[in-house]
Amino acid sequence: MSEPKTLAGKVWDQHVVPGSPQEPSHLDAPGGAAAAQGERPDLLYIDLHLVHEVTSPQAFEGLRMAGRSVRRPDLTLATVDHNVPTIGRDQPNPDPVSATQIATLQGNAREFGIPLFDIFDIRQGIVHIIGPEQGYTQPGMTIVCGDSHTSTHGAFGSLAFGIGTSEVEHVLATQTLRQVRPKMMSVEVTGELGPGVTAKDVILAIIHRIGVHGGIGHIIEYRGDVIRALSMEGRMTVCNMSIEAGARAGLIAPDETTFAYMKGRPHIPGGEQWESALARWSELATDDGAAFDTEVTLDGSEIVPYVTWGTNPSQSVTVTDRVPDPQSMPTETQREATRRALEYMDLEAGTPIREIRIDRVFLGSCTNGRIEDLRSAAGVVAGRRVADGVRAMVVPGSGLVKRQAEQEGLDAVFTQAGFEWRDAGCSMCLGMNPDILLPGERSASTSNRNFEGRQGPGGRTHLVSPEMAAAAAIAGHFVDVREVMSWSR
């Protein structure tokens, strides 16, 4: 019997292009012999390449300058998400530099024959929302994009990771990528989540445990009863933030939940092909006895809603806790980093999280911009009002998420409560379109990064779940969403 393999190991092995990269002939001369034993990169075949306006223009320009073409436009999909305004799309883009970048992608898509979900296409949206939505994201695939949150697609048991622009060019030209095989990490979340505790809290708890550098050089496989019980939306939220733990990718073995989500989507096979695909996908799960390089276990029943207080996603505490004291950190580097973070965030050590007042609320992003996220938040918001002085916005992850939410009446729930209801895009997650925090403004955000200035220069970001963000919008400060359900509407 062959050696037991991990899920990621199986997908990897199925995509290694055999042939000359295995031969050390081009590595002769100094270091050649050692190279044969070193971490030789594999040449990985890429099944799906997602492209957006920000990290692709230089790659297409590289192709043009070298006279190269796109090898598989039929495995490539482009959309506009990072730069696009989320209101007033019938008007010219207020930022001429962004307008040029978007026009450049439109031109490149035409020139190289790549399908594009353009700004007025109902299928337009955040690149990591639209792949699964259209059924392009399937188990066992290799998926790349010039965007670090590509790990989202790992929720389907695909191997998905972010790449830089030079690598985008490499994939466009060759449909392959040279990659050293990462180590494998198992993160098992056992037990059952309590009420009001979400996938976002699970991943924030994981990052809190292993740190923002804990996953460097690894692919994380999320396992255990808590993960199995998550919806696909929840699994995407977890896998999305793998990069925030430093991991190359994160994935989850496909199961009945995965298959039920996929069935009937536009690019999912039907009939006999569906049956044979199911058989293939069902064999992907990690074999019993497969070895991981690193193993971490969390008790899911102990996870409660998290709020970040600092300037990286591991700097978080539970909503019932307080802003930490730098002196409580174990090393001088961490004490200094904590002091810096508290200064930037304008927070005093010892302040109860629930006393932190907010100015803005952002519901959206590739982390929490899917229909289930909007439903959950709407459940908190329904019949209530956004607190005075708080500006809150909902930005659906795609045009189709927006339409679905409107069909369910969620837009009315949000707008009646005082939320802005916007068009799909990355919006306030990353501060490169008109949706930004002003200097000194403090947000409760369902996005993925609380880095200094991430949502706009001088802005202060607290990462939370959609339910926690909705509750903060109503209260004007952080509250434990588990208490909110008992409030009157």
Among 77, 345, 358, 472, binds another protein (CB under 8 A): 77
**Binders of another protein in range 394-423 (CB under 8 A):** none
Residues 369-388 that bind another protein (CB under 8 A): none
Dihedral, CA of residue 341, residue 356, residue 465 and residue 240, to nearest 10: -10
Q: For another protein, which stretch binds (CB under 8 A), given 263-271, 292-300, 403-411, 474-482?
A: 263-271
Please, which residues bridge with residue 76 across strands? 49
In the chain the first and final C-alpha atoms are separated, in Å, by 61
Beta strands in 163-245 (DSSP E): 176-179, 183-190, 218-223
| Number of C-beta neighbours around residue 395 at 10 A | 28
Give CA–CA dist 8/380, Å, rounded. Answer: 37
Question: Does residue 48 belong to the site contacting another protein (CB under 8 A)?
Answer: yes
Q: Which long-range contacts (CB under 8 A, 24 or more apart) does 256-264 make?
A: 257/228, 257/230, 257/231, 257/232, 258/139, 258/155, 258/156, 258/157, 258/232, 261/132, 261/231, 261/232, 262/135, 262/138, 262/156
* Among residues 47, 201, 233, 359, the one that binds another protein under rule CB under 8 A: 47
Tell me if 242 sits within 8 A of 367, measured CB to CB. Answer: no
Q: Is 74 in the site for another protein (CB under 8 A)?
A: yes
| C-beta of 48 vs 353, nearer to another protein | 48
Residues 220, 248: contact at Cβ < 8 Å? no
DSSP states of 48-68 as a string? EEEE-TTTSHHHHHHHHHHT-
Chosen residue from 432, 441, 480, 483 binding another protein by CB under 8 A? 432
Nearest to 485 by CA among 380, 414, 383: 380
Shortest Å, Cβ 70 to another protein: 11
Rounded-to-integer distance, Cα 133 and Cα 138, Å: 11
Return the residues of window 132-191 that contact another protein according to CB under 8 A: 135-136, 138, 141, 146-148, 150, 161-167, 169-170, 173-176, 178, 180, 182
CB of 425 to another protein, least distance (A): 13
Query: Cα(221)–Cα(248) distance, rounded to whole angstroms?
Result: 11
Nearer Cβ to another protein (57/224):
57
Instruction: Point out which span in 14-22, 121-129, 198-206, 398-406 binds another protein (CB under 8 A).
Output: 14-22
Stretch that binds another protein, among 187-195, 262-270, 351-359, 366-374 (CB under 8 A): 262-270
- Contact mark string toward another protein, 331..360, x via CB under 8 A: --xx-xx--x--------------------
Please tell me the distance from the alpha carbon of residue 380 to that of residue 208, in angstroms, as a whole number: 26
Residues in 304-333 that interact with another protein by CB under 8 A: 312, 333
CA neighbor of 148 nearest in space, from 401, 366, 464: 366
Only segment of 265-273, 374-382, 413-421, 479-487 that touches another protein (CB under 8 A)? 265-273
Stretch in the footprint of another protein (CB under 8 A) among 121-129, 243-251, 291-299, 375-383: 243-251
- Our finding on whether 488 is near another protein (CB under 8 A) is no
Q: Whose CA is closest to 321, among 459, 204, 226?
A: 204
> Does 475 participate in binding another protein (rule CB under 8 A)?
no
**Residue selected from 89, 106, 115, 335 as contacting another protein according to rule CB under 8 A:** 115
Q: Which residue among 87, 212, 382, 387 contacts another protein (CB under 8 A)?
A: 212
Of positions 374, 392, 430, 468, contacts another protein by CB under 8 A: 430
